[in-house]
Structure 1
Amino acid sequence: MDRRAFLRKPAAVLVAPVAAKPTPAPSAAAPLATDPPETVSRYANTKLPTFSRTSAGLSPYTGPWTRVQAAHLLRRCLFGPSKSAIAAAAGASLSQVLNALFTVPAAPAPPVNVSATDTSVPIGQTWTTQPFDQTFESARRSSLRAWWLGQVLQGSTLTEKMWVFWHNHFVIEFSDINDARYGYQYVALLRQHAMGNIKQLAKDVTVAPAMLRYLNGNQSTATAPNENYGRELLELFTVGKGPQIGPGNYTNYTEADVQAAAKCLTGWRDNATTISGYFTASRHDTSTKTFSSAFQNRTLPNTGDQEYKALVDLVFDQAETARFLVRKLYRWLVYYVIDADAEQNVILPLAQQLQQNGYNVAPVLRTLLSSEHFFDAVNVGCYIKGPLDFTLGLCRQLEIAMPPAASPAVQYGIWDYLNSITNLQQQVLGDPPSVAGWPAYYQTPQFNELWINAVTLPRRSQFTDLMVSTNGTTRNGFRLVVDPVTWVESLPGSVASEPNLLIQAFVEVLMPFPLTASQLAFLNDTLLPGLPDFEWTTEWLDYVANPTNTAKKNAVATKLRALLRTMLSQAEYHLS
């Protein structure tokens, strides 16, 4: 495939189809033949705003700490917080909540085989140490994707959000490398460093077998240096382009720098038996590599299998590398618009902190997430959810029951189904559409608006409607469905029985900010169309007094499902 097709998007992108990577999905979730053509809305941004959004900087936040602020922090750090998580956070201090979010959990056990097709290992045992076999590749890749989504779905720390961030940054595509074992090693590497040192992650990724295969580093020799990885290392992974100063030359690197970087990286290959990168000295360019004034005209002598580390160190010595990385972190966790004030008050000081502490990312993230800027009202509910946020968030916010780990085939089947849902919304875990990642995180000026289009918006609604329907969906004998009665039963009795307090409880979990009085009145009328408030109180208390009475349970469940269907279709629910 052409991994750099993203570079040639025409200026007419506002009226042209948005590229979407076609990915097979289970037939039950396959796109309909009646899907409308995918185009960017004529109402989408044509340019970014130039006015200042906020002058708030990185001073520690000292304002109110309520469920609103707690939920905002958790929404940005997790793939959807539950009501109990929001309540616990609101009852703790900001520092205590951050301590919990920044606790790195133990590495999960590797993915297991759940397919009768893969006969290399029994069901429930890992395939990650087995020899490659093309016959089993599809089943193993599905297992890997399902496992990864399952770990993200179950996670309760910032690690999971950063795990996906690094996948969108140091991109590979499972379908291109065609070895799920390589994919698993890559995924495990990203998780290992998700909250750690970016420079070390860059070094490890450079010689990871998945990356060597994906960007053709395994083909790079002294006589024919392959420039793919060297180019992406500079343009997409570290220092970025900066303004163009000539054909192929940019402020932050030149075409000659790409060529020099490529020479530094020659000699590396991947071993499919040991699942590792290895170095062959006879294939390595032994000359001294000279870089441009963008890198202070520095030179790197031949150091064999250690030379790639020297190259990474050289690139990370540049102040612009820290700024480039911080901008991507900001767009992932805060907002996609970086105006002059945000650049001056947030990006530059965070970049300086990142560089000064040797590219350890956790202290920088903590400074950002505890700042006045992060909690400024303009940064609350301004972010359009991506498909993973939207889909997994619904499962977590409405506490949809999941299969037990004791039934791996059933568990993976549900995770695979959720993957099919995010795929239809154009976010395929393990297969971003290009080496640049998902366009919503880099394509200016639309950015996150790209998640909402004529194809994906109906898909979102179909999923939420299905989950709040009476039957939901069944996979491998397990029913995936929202149980609104159980959700409400976990509320204090005084809240569950009072319709306006009940609606407010749903709002605090599902919406990124308080709704208006007219919106709340509309939701009240949805719950109780044309009826006085006491009707809900009477019906709910009747049910509580007779919980085994099917008719009474169905009466309250029907009203709650109508309420949720309406709330999940509101524009605010698509925001974080």
Structure 2
Amino acid sequence: MERRAFLQRPLAGGPIKPAQPATPSLLDQASPFANTTLPVRTSAATATTLAPYTGPWSAAQAAHLLRRCLFGPTRAEIQMAATTTLAATLDKLLTPAATPGPPLNISAADTTVPLGQTWVGQPFDQTLEGARRTSLRDWWLGLQLSQGTSLTEKMTLFWHNHFVVEFGDINSAQYGYAYARLLRQHALGNVRQLATDVTVNPAMLRYLNGNASTAAAPNENYGRELLELFTLGKGPLIGAGNYTTYTEADVQAAAKVLTGWRDDAATVAGYFTASRHDTSTKQFSAAFGNARIAPNGAGEYQDLINLIFRQPATAAFLVRKLYRWFVYYVIDAQVESDIIQPLAALLIASNYEVAPVLRALFSSEHFFDAANVGCLIKSPLDFVVGVCRQLELALPPASNYLGQYGVWDYLYGLGVVQQQSLGDPPNVAGWVAYYQAPQFHELWINAVTLPRRNQATDLFIGTGITKSGFAFKADPVALVQALPAATAQDPNLVIAEFVRLMVPIDLTASQLAFLKNALIPGLPDFEWTSEWSQFLATPTNTAKRAAVQSKLQAMLRALAGLAEYQLS
């Protein structure tokens, strides 16, 4: 299959008629050119396996790995990875990041703590909830910007899209912080333990009504999503209420297991009330080997998680979601047999530690197959955070926390208008781009979001924004000054450097000519060389700096406007 076929559209015959989506409103947002059926491989060119990658290791391969594992790798990060080895780079990526400090109070209306100190641990106050929730979301986005070279932040977002809660629904920034901290704690750790802990996390108890589930009225919401979305997934329907991997009777049994749990706003924790718990023996279907969970009070939910994670379908379901997040959305028979099933077996053999699975995937020939390079459309957060990191927009110092949070809040808003609200996926299934067949990630690009993306890059390359006296904008002149002198004075080499940094696939000769014309419209190469040399001779001369800066800004705007820039 041609995994980047969406870059070429039919020139005649009108737009392709979209397929009817599961949610009627989705296609109103999607491009009329988005998939109507899943792509089908037409050759064996991508029939690669988990065999260790033995090809070249250079900046190109390092950039591919880091683009998938980080939010917009910088030139320095790519160069550093390229000078080491794949194994050493994976060691860094799979090292958990240090635990960050908590979010801060940035609202003068919140007098419970001084400005610049954390509100975490303060009693719930509905009048302050909006300000605290804003602080929480902004803090989370700030962590993505300062991610370093660890997979922690990318995996934290993955688990947020998997074990979904919506901050707006739970209406407690304290709960939201406890939830985000839990995801980050287990981001590169044990998924079974994460599933266990999130089951009685106060945010999840409130989000899926586990806090209202009693023996007299078991609530099925969490039990259903635990089986369908968080662990086993639905298999083929083989009978009324029988989804192969579980049945409706299993949902009901799981709901009974989970009765009695409540959330405590004072302690920001889940707790168990025995008098509200169903004390019967819970019978599960043949899908679970007709297993039973005996009365075990507060320990039953752990028995349930252990039962679920003994099913091979759980490991395969989790691996498929990781594959779609990091590699590509089509899982055909060859990928299922050669990639998914071996990784699922590894996940089980690793006692559900996720790091060995990620290492095996990222060090495989399959991951570095040319067909898997530059074939994903960036999510809005990948796009927004990535452009800031790759163009090295300097952040306000920690002493200017109002400026920091102001910048983070602006970037959070850019994600929202591009249809990815950090902390608030649209529903319990997460963002539709990760599950809605056959469009998947093509849903990120539509008539609303594409102009927003272009406006964002134009803004940061141009005037930037100012928050609390701090100007947040790209400095393309400084970026070129950091290049080797011989590179900086050659317009072709300057363009090539930015293309390698910002675009995951090779551009055509005509595209490179287009970028060169944006840099030096109709002029010979020596004009750039001369102008750059004059600037270097008098770098404090504002006119000479402005001359090279305006040219670089024009070229970068043109580069960010290419369809290829939307790819990872």
Q: TM-score per shorter chain, which class?
A: over 0.9
Q: For residues 56-455 of structure 1, what are the structure 2 equivalents within 5 Å?
A: 56-156=48-148, 157-455=150-448
> Which residue is equivalent to 2:558?
566
Q: In 2, distance between residues paired with 1:551 and 1:102? A: 47
Q: Greater shift after overlay, 40-49 or 374-383?
A: 40-49
Give the Å deviation of 1:53. Answer: 6.0
Q: Which amino acid aligns with 1:314?
A: L
Q: Greater shift after overlay, 334-343 or 45-54?
A: 45-54
Q: In 1, distance between residues paired with 2:558 and 2:341? A: 42
> Which residue is equivalent to 1:46?
36
Listed one character per residue, the Cα deviations across residues 87-108 of structure 1 (whole Å, up to 9, x for unaligned) are 1111111111111111112100
Listed one character per residue, the Cα deviations across residues 297-343 of structure 1 (whole Å, up to 9, x for unaligned) are 11110100000000000001000100000000001111111111111
> Which residue is equivalent to 2:501?
509
Q: Which amino acid aligns with 1:294?
A: A
Aligned-partner SS, 2:26: coil
Alignment of 1:460 onto 2:453? yes
Q: For residues 447-526 of structure 1, what are the structure 2 equivalents within 5 Å?
A: 447-469=440-462, 471-526=463-518
Listed one character per residue, the Cα deviations across residues 514-555 of structure 1 (whole Å, up to 9, x for unaligned) are 222222122112211110001000000110010000110000
Give the Å deviation of 1:69. Answer: 0.4
Alignment of 1:18 onto 2:26? yes
Aligned-partner SS, 1:270: strand
Residue 163 to residue 134, structure 1, CA distance change in 2 (3 Å): same
Listed one character per residue, the Cα deviations across residues 259-296 of structure 1 (whole Å, up to 9, x for unaligned) are 00000000000011111100011111010001011111
Q: In 1, distance between residues paired with 2:36 and 2:437? A: 9
Q: In 2, distance between residues paired with 1:481 and 1:574? A: 20
Q: In 2, distance between residues paired with 1:516 and 1:344? A: 36
Q: Which amino acid aligns with 2:508?
A: T
**Contact 1:53–1:339 (8 Å) recurs in 2:** no
Give the Å deviation of 1:39. Answer: 3.0
Q: In 1, distance between residues paired with 2:274 and 2:24? A: 48
Q: In 2, distance between residues paired with 1:254 and 1:415? A: 44
Aligned-partner SS, 1:375: coil
Aligned-partner SS, 2:238: strand
> Which residue is equivalent to 2:12?
none
Aligned-partner SS, 1:244: coil
Q: In 2, distance between residues paired with 1:77 and 1:84? A: 15
Give the Å deviation of 1:249. Answer: 2.3
Q: In 1, distance between residues paired with 2:496 and 2:84? A: 21
**Contact 2:47–2:334 (8 Å) recurs in 1:** yes
Aligned-partner SS, 2:314: helix
Give the Å deviation of 1:245. Answer: 1.8
Give the Å deviation of 1:230. Answer: 0.1
Q: In 2, distance between residues paired with 1:109 and 1:549? A: 42
Q: Which amino acid aligns with 1:268?
A: W
Give the Å deviation of 1:408. Answer: 1.1
- The normalised TM-score by structure 1 is 0.94
Give the Å deviation of 1:11. Answer: 6.5
Q: In 2, distance between residues paired with 1:559 and 1:219? A: 61
Give the Å deviation of 1:422. Answer: 0.4
- The normalised TM-score by structure 2 is 0.95
Q: Which amino acid aligns with 2:38?
A: L
**Contact 1:227–1:258 (8 Å) recurs in 2:** yes
Q: In 1, distance between residues paired with 2:552 and 2:83? A: 27
Which runs of 5 or more structure 1 residues have no equivalent in the other structure?
Answer: 1-9, 20-37
Q: Which amino acid aligns with 2:404?
A: Q
Q: Which amino acid aligns with 1:43?
A: F
Q: Which runs of 4+ in 1 moved over 4 A?
A: none
Q: Which amino acid aligns with 2:551?
A: K
The percentage of aligned residue pairs carrying the same residue is 64
Give the Å deviation of 1:16. Answer: 4.4
> Which residue is equivalent to 2:15?
none
Q: In 2, distance between residues paired with 1:14 and 1:204? A: 31
Q: In 2, distance between residues paired with 1:17 and 1:322? A: 32
Aligned-partner SS, 1:479: strand
Q: Which amino acid aligns with 1:383?
A: L
**Contact 1:14–1:46 (8 Å) recurs in 2:** no
**Contact 1:400–1:482 (8 Å) recurs in 2:** yes
Aligned-partner SS, 1:194: coil
Q: In 2, distance between residues paired with 1:487 and 1:215? A: 48
In the alignment of these two chains, the number of paired residues is 548
Q: In 1, distance between residues paired with 2:497 and 2:202? A: 48
Q: Greater shift after overlay, 238-247 or 553-562?
A: 238-247
**Contact 1:17–1:40 (8 Å) recurs in 2:** no
Aligned-partner SS, 1:474: strand
